[in-house]
Amino acid sequence: MPPSPRHACQCERCQQDTCHPDQQSHREINELMACLRRGQRRLYAAVEANRIGRGGVRLVSQITGLGEDTIRAGRRELAQRLKGELPQAPKPCGGRPLTESKSPAIKAPWRNCSPTKWRATR
């Protein structure tokens, strides 16, 4: 799978014409983020936001292009992992309900069938 395209930092300082000391680190963050999978990006963004402290979620969102809610979710997941708890698996969603669950009577005719009866006999 090819790496994700690089995000251009949208923080206020990077948008100015003058160079600032953090530009290189912002570029490095985005280069690394392009190599990570979705869950890994979320966790790394959480680490960076925690490292920055107050205002870190907003700044990391501007640097990486990830949503603030995504970074907050990463912070919660990171806190769980640091406590030794495994994060919960995502809940199954969507999809059509099984026919058998909608109409239990449909199971009855199929109970007596077996794969050997399905084969054609000669």
Q: Tell me whether residue 59 is in a domain.
A: yes
pLDDT tens digits along 23-61: 888 888 889 999 999 999 999 999 999 999 999 999 999
Number of domains making up the chain: 1
Q: Tell me whether residue 7 is in a domain.
A: no
Q: Tell me whether residue 114 is in a domain.
A: no
Q: Tell me whether residue 121 is in a domain.
A: no
Arithmetic mean of pLDDT over the chain = 81
Handedness of CA 48, 10, 15, 55 (dihedral sign): negative
* pTM recorded for the entire structure: 0.65
Q: Tell me whether residue 2 is in a domain.
A: no
Give the angle subtended at the CA of 70 by the CAs of 15 and 93, to the nearest 5°.
145
By residue range, what is the domain housing residue 22? 12-88
